[in-house]
Structure 1
Amino acid sequence: MSSTILNFATKYSLYSGSIICSLGIVGNVINILVFTQLKVFRDNRCAFYLTIESIFNFLYMLFGISVNILISIYGDDETGRSLIWCKLRYIIAQTLTSCSFTMVCCTAADEYFSTNYRCNLRQTCTLRLARYLTFILIFIWTCHSIIFGYFSNIMPSIGCTISNENYRQYATFFFYPVLGGVLPIVISSFFSMLAYRNVRRLVRRQIPIIRRRLDRQITAMVLLRIVVFICLTAPSIIYRIYAINTPVLRNTSAQYAIVRLLQIIAFSLLNLNHMSSFYVFIMSSARFRHQVKYFLIKKCWKHIRCCHTENLISPGNAQIFNSNIEHEQNN
């Protein structure tokens, strides 16, 4: 029975992880390109935060693919045999996840300030301030994750876990339930609802219609993103708290197999959270769908065709091509 559950868990982790990571890489790359290349998003602070979130989600997907490769080769993620990988996986996973969650909160908060009817609040948040704040938050989370990895060790018959009792209490009662769970959920939910209320009042204010449409678009995108964020984050947080406080010995095969399956399901939901932003934006905003279509067809495909056309022109034909252009211009 336990071997059947473990076999199913391994196959589920490999196949679901590969599909989620592949879709996540494609979606986050499109997010990054659209938010950085289209002029309408270029100087928008919310788009900047969404870009940074997509970058961390993209790196997390690459990290997930490396874990799936280890599972497909060795049958597990190797954290129970390699101390370096045990510590490194904690550091990488915590840094990428914490920074991604933080960017979700920053996006919701900035959308509230940018749509606020008070001019001083709208002018307080600038793109330069957003860049400084992002750099500081990334630095803080990186240092925090390094400390997290420092207290991670391989325990006999348990595997890779937090070995320090004080830090285990900190992770159990503060980091996972508060910093990694309740706090980002409350912050993102609170500011997204306030931003939604602000957007409904935009009709009464003298704001250019292009800016009004952009605010409504981003608010709708962020609001649905927060809903998905809450639904997919809560199960993984609950599992982490349970796993730290009730470690299961590997020799108790039946219980270990069940816990292993729960772990894989919880982390697959977490992977969905890092993968889902692009697809949530596509579903929530018809305007974003048109923007993605415009970018892929008008910019990417046109650039590929131009490069292909230039490669087809031989040096001998290049002179004829240039002379024809000059003849047309003179006429």
Structure 2
Amino acid sequence: MTLISDLSSIQNILTRYVLTICYALGILGSILNLLVFSQRKLRKNSCSIYFIATSIFNLLAILFGMTSVIIDSYLPDNSSKHSITFCKTKAYLIHVFLMISRSSVALACVDRFALCSQNTFLRNLCQRRIALILILVICVLWIIIPIHVIIYVNIQSASRCGAAGVYQIVYSIYTTIATSAPLIVMILFSIWAIQNLHQSQIRTQPAARTRNAYPNSVPRIKRRDIQLVKVLISEVVAYVLSTIWFPLTTIYLTITADISKTADRLAVEDFIRYLAVGFLIYLNSCSMFYAHILASKPFRQESQQLFLPFCQQSPHQRGFRGTSVISKNRERLKYIYHR
């Protein structure tokens, strides 16, 4: 077998089997994320609002993006691949959904940085109302900013939907900036949030006896907010590892666009483009719930609470044993989150 056929076979396997499994797990995980962060004790937290927004737009990206990718792997000659309207609409919507999701995570990092700050004004910005306003603002911005995608993106050779000519250069610059900016914000503000949290814990211990006299000098951060920082860091790590390849690949392909290439090199570049644009990006959208579970024990316990009412084996157990288990878990979570 040649390199071209080998890479094509690997791509088909990744799409048909790996992405199909991720598709199902991603939909389930996004819904569970929404259920967990929509609970009464969490949805009042500003950071949870950003997590809810991220889950919603990740779910939309999975439904609108991955569905067609998986269908194309089984039906390579379906008519949608030749539809200009479908090409433009899909490219625009997926870009909007992913950018709102990334921006929501970036805002969550800024929110946690502000919460862990000594500055009272910054801490006061961590409010649910402000989070809702900012989510609305980024939704409007990312609906307007990528309008050019609908105008210039078109079907190219081999029924590939993308940019060409001068717009390919413009689009590569735009996507590099648009993708890199949220990642830079995530990395910087998550690092600063961790530093502020560490310094706050150091200051809080010796100042515990004087907190009543100076309530604003040593802010006490709740255990719930510390756990949300851990959940956020897991999300940032997943975003960075899966998304950083997209701008790098875009820059490389743009720089080498006019270079004469062999068929094998073109096959390798197409496979790398697939990994960066059609695989890792969607894999990231599907992985958030599972990254949260790995990062935070309270999040795992909150997730278990969603299934406990359905795990009772008999009416008798539902009335006594099940109630006892749920009550114990609720008391444990109440201690963890409100400590």
**Same fold by TM-score greater than 0.5:** yes
In 1, the alpha carbon distance for the partners of 2:78 and 2:280 equals 18
- Aligned partner letter, 2:196: N
Counterpart for residue 200 of structure 1: 198
Counterpart for residue 322 of structure 2: none
Q: 27-36 vs 215-224, which deviates more?
A: 215-224
**Does residue 272 of the first structure (1) align with residue 283 of the second (2)?**
yes
Query: Structure 2: which 5+ runs fail to align?
Result: 320-339
Count of residues paired in the alignment: 298
- Whether the aligned pair in 2 keeps the contact of 1:78 and 1:85 (CA below 8 Å) is yes
- Whether the aligned pair in 2 keeps the contact of 1:108 and 1:222 (CA below 8 Å) is yes
Q: Give the CA deviation at 1:178.
A: 1.9
Q: Give the CA deviation at 1:75.
A: 5.9
**Does residue 103 of the first structure (1) align with residue 101 of the second (2)?**
no
- Whether the aligned pair in 1 keeps the contact of 2:235 and 2:291 (CA below 8 Å) is yes
In 1, the alpha carbon distance for the partners of 2:161 and 2:271 equals 17
Query: Structure 1: which 5+ runs fail to align?
Result: 310-331
**Does residue 281 of the first structure (1) align with residue 292 of the second (2)?**
yes
Q: Give the CA deviation at 1:54.
A: 0.6
In 1, the alpha carbon distance for the partners of 2:164 and 2:292 equals 41
Match 2:182 to one of 181, 184, 193? 184
Going from structure 1 to structure 2, the CA distance change for 1:246 and 1:178 (only over 3 Å counts) comes to: same
Counterpart for residue 326 of structure 1: none
- Whether the aligned pair in 1 keeps the contact of 2:176 and 2:250 (CA below 8 Å) is no
In 2, the alpha carbon distance for the partners of 1:99 and 1:238 equals 21
Counterpart for residue 72 of structure 1: 74
In 2, the alpha carbon distance for the partners of 1:117 and 1:25 equals 39
- Aligned partner letter, 2:86: W
Counterpart for residue 114 of structure 2: 113
- Whether the aligned pair in 1 keeps the contact of 2:116 and 2:221 (CA below 8 Å) is no
In 2, the alpha carbon distance for the partners of 1:70 and 1:169 equals 27
Matches within 5 A, 1:88-99: 88-99=89-100
Deviations 1:138-196 (A, max 9, x none): 1111122332121112235673222461x4333223x2222212x21221111111211
In 2, the alpha carbon distance for the partners of 1:134 and 1:197 equals 26
Q: Give the CA deviation at 1:51.
A: 0.6
In 1, the alpha carbon distance for the partners of 2:123 and 2:171 equals 36
- Whether the aligned pair in 1 keeps the contact of 2:115 and 2:126 (CA below 8 Å) is yes
TM-score (norm 2): 0.78
In 1, the alpha carbon distance for the partners of 2:256 and 2:151 equals 21
In 2, the alpha carbon distance for the partners of 1:118 and 1:12 equals 48
Choose 1 or 2 for highest CA Rg: 1
Deviations 1:192-219 (A, max 9, x none): 1121122224441758x99610111011
Deviations 1:246-305 (A, max 9, x none): 569xxx75444333322222231111211121111111111111111123214x668xx8
Match 1:217 to one of 213, 220, 227? 227
DSSP 3-state at the match of 1:200:
helix
- Aligned partner letter, 2:33: N
- Whether the aligned pair in 2 keeps the contact of 1:29 and 1:54 (CA below 8 Å) is yes
Counterpart for residue 43 of structure 1: 44
Matches within 5 A, 1:292-307: 292-298=303-309
- Whether the aligned pair in 2 keeps the contact of 1:35 and 1:41 (CA below 8 Å) is yes
DSSP 3-state at the match of 1:74:
coil
The sequence identity of aligned pairs, in percent, is 23
Q: 146-155 vs 284-293, which deviates more?
A: 146-155
In 1, the alpha carbon distance for the partners of 2:192 and 2:149 equals 34
In 1, the alpha carbon distance for the partners of 2:220 and 2:25 equals 31
In 1, the alpha carbon distance for the partners of 2:83 and 2:251 equals 23
Going from structure 1 to structure 2, the CA distance change for 1:164 and 1:136 (only over 3 Å counts) comes to: farther
In 1, the alpha carbon distance for the partners of 2:221 and 2:281 equals 34
- Whether the aligned pair in 1 keeps the contact of 2:45 and 2:127 (CA below 8 Å) is no
